[in-house]
Amino acid sequence: MRLLSVLAVGAFALPLAAFAADPHSYAQPDQVRVTHLDLDLKVDFPHKQLDGLATLKLDWKNAKAQALVLDTRDLTISKVEGLDASGKASPLKFTLAERDKQLGSKLTIDTPKQPVQVRITYTTAPTASGLQWLTPEQTADKKLPFMFSQSESIHARSWVPLQDSPAIRFTYKAHVTAPKDVRVTMSAINDAKHPLDGDFSFEQPHPIPSYLLAIAAGDIAVKETGPRSAVYAEPSVVGKAAHEFEDTEKLIAATEKLYGPYAWGRYDILVLPPSFPFGGMENPNMTFATPTVLVGDKSLVSLVSHELAHSWSGNLVTSAAWRDIWLNEGFTTYVQGRITEAVYGKALADEEALLSARALLKELPTMAPNAQRLAPEPRGIDADDALSSVAYDKGSWFLRTLETRFGRETFDNYLKGYFAHFAFQSITTEQMLDYLKANLFDKNPGKMSWDEVKAWVYQPGVPKNAPLPASPRFDAIDAARKSFLAGSLDATKLDAKGWNTQEWMYFLDGMPDVAPLDKLKALDAAWHLTGTPNAEIGMRWYSHAIAAGDKDVWNAAAEHMTRIGRLYLTMPLYKAFARTPDGLAFAKQVYEKAKSGYHPMTQEAVERTFAKAAKGDKPAK
C-alpha cells in the first residue's frame, strides 16, 4: 500500500489515496479504474466451473500508467487481449503471481498503449471460494444440480477477474448459457417469464461494487408477490416462501416513505438451498436468502427488512473499504428496525434491538480492542472478519443514539438527505462523519458532543450512556427465567405458550452458559424444544443442552447441523461440541456426513474450530 499526502476535510483528515489503499485488494484505482464489465459465462455443472470471458472497460487516471492490476483467486487465465476504440483486439502479456492465502493471486496485465478495454478468457476452479456447486441430491427437490455465488467480502475474484474492492463501482451486462430446464438469475433485473432455454441475458445499469456481483443457476420456480417483487425458489419451496414474504411490497413502500424512492426497479428474493452460509445477501434487485427463515409465521421476516434496507444503505451508499463496513451494516440494521416498526409494530422492533444489543454486550469482552471499534485500524482485521456484530449492532446502536438525541423527525430528514447526497458512491467513515457534522450537528447544536461521536466510532466498547428501548414482555421473561432457575417456578408454569420467536430467543440467550442439566431436561419436557423446526430457537437450545452435557439431544443437534449450512446457526453447535473430547469426536463424525453440503466458507470455519480444539484451545462461547 502506498501512502500519499493527507487533505484536511472538515473535522477529519482524509487520505487522498483512500480509494487506492484498500489493503484487501491488489487493484490500483488511482492508476486506472474499471467502469463497466461485459461477462460471457457458460455454466458447466459436470466440471463445477464457469467458462468465462470478461471484458473490462477502463478509465485511465494516470497517463503514464502501463499496467492494469486485477484481483483473482484460483482462476485459470488462458488469454488476455486489449481492445482499442475501434474494437480491434491485440494480445497482451500478463503475469499471475503466486497465491496469497487471503488475497488470492495478483494479475498484472502489461498495457503500454492503455487500451480502451481488456478482454480476459478464463475458467474458475471447482473449489472457487465464491461459488458453491450442489448435486441434485443436495437440493430440496433433488431433481437438478444447483450453483450459487457469494461474493462478499472478497470472493468475487474467485469467479471474475476484476478490481475486487468496494471502492470501485461498475455497471455490467452478462450473457449466460446453461443446460436447458435450468434457470439462471443474477444481481440485475430478472425476467420471471424467461423461457428455460439455456440462454440468459442480464443488465445492471447502476454502478455497483464487486461484492454485489451475483449469480445462481438451478431448478428455480417463480411466484409473484407484488407489482415489483417475486420469490424465486425450488418448486417445492416457492409457495411457502411466497407466503412468508407476501408483505414485501408493504416493506418497500414503508422504506420509501422514510428514506426516498427505491432506486433499483424490482426487488426479488431468491431462496437458496440450506447450505447458503448467511441469512441473506443484499445482491441488487435479487436478495439471496436462507430457507431457515421460512418458519410459517413471518416471525423472521426481519431478514427481508434488513436486505431490503441495503437497497439504500450499502447498495446505494457503500463503504469504501471493509474497515468501513459498519456504514453498510450498522445503517442497514437501524433502517431494518424502522421498517419492522412501521409494518409490524414498535414492540417487535424494540425486542429485536434489545436482543442484538444484549448479545453484543455479552460478546464484546471476548473481542480484541481493535475489533470493537466501528472503524478499526484496517491492517488489524481481515475482510471477512470485519462483518462482525460490532458493524451491525454497535453501528445501529450508535444511530439509535443519534435519533434519541436529535429527535426522530430531524434524524429522518438528515438520513434521507445522506442517502440522496451519496447515492451510487462508495465512501469512508471520515466522509460520513464530515457530512454528519455539517448537516446534523452544526445545524442542531447542543444535542450531543462531538467527543461522544468519536468515542462511538474510534473507541472499543459501547458508551455507558447508550440508550436502550424498554420491553415489558422481556422484563417479564427476565423475571420468569430467574424464578425458573431459582426453583420457585416450574417449567410447565412458564407463560411461554404465546411467546414469539424473539421472546424464546431472549429467554434462551439469558440462560447461564452452562445451565443445570435438570433444569434443561424439565424445560425440554414441558416445551419440546428438541426437534424444533425453528432454526433460531434450535441453535440456542442445542448449544445450551450440549454445554450442560445432555447427550440425549446429540442426534437432533446433528440433524440441525447437517440440514443447515448457515454459519450463524451451525457454528455455535460445533463450538459447543468441541469443548469436550467426546463432543469433538462426535462433531467430526457429523462433519464428515455434512461436509459435502456445506459452503466453502462453512467448511473453513468448522475446520478452523477443529484445529483450535486439537491445540487445546477452547472455542469462544
Closest CA to 184 of 270, 264, 245, 248: 270
Q: How far is CA 572 from CA 26, 335, 593, 609, 621, in A?
A: 34, 27, 18, 10, 7
C-alpha torsion 285→291→293→297, nearest 10: 110
- Indicate the residue type of 287: T
Is 559 assigned a catalytic role?
no
Closest CA to 55 of 141, 120, 152: 120
DSSP code string of 38-67: EEEEEEETTTTEEEEEEEEEEEES-TT--E
Q: Report yes or no: 330 and 398 within 8 Å, Cβ to Cβ.
A: yes
Cα separation, 440 vs 421, in Å, equals 14
Is 307 assigned a catalytic role?
yes
SS3 state at 560: helix
- CB-side exposure of 433: number of CA atoms within 13 Å? 23
User: What is the DSSP-derived secondary structure letter of residue 192?
Assistant: T
Cα separation, 544 vs 541, in Å, equals 5
Point out the catalytic residue in the list 307, 329, 341, 352: 307
The sheet carrying 94-96 orders its strands as 67-72, 105-110, 94-96
Cα separation, 68 vs 110, in Å, equals 7
Cα separation, 49 vs 46, in Å, equals 8
Residue whose cell numbers read 474497515: 323
Where are the extended beta strands (E) located within 45-182? Answer: 49-60, 67-72, 76-83, 89-91, 94-96, 105-110, 117-123, 131-134, 146-149, 169-177
What are the grid coordinates assigned to 361, written together? Answer: 454486550
Point out the catalytic residue in the list 392, 414, 574, 591: 392
Q: Report yes or no: 62 and 31 within 8 Å, Cβ to Cβ.
A: yes
472's enclosing H/E stretch is helix 472-486
Cα separation, 84 vs 91, in Å, equals 12
- Tell me which residues are annotated as active site: 307, 392
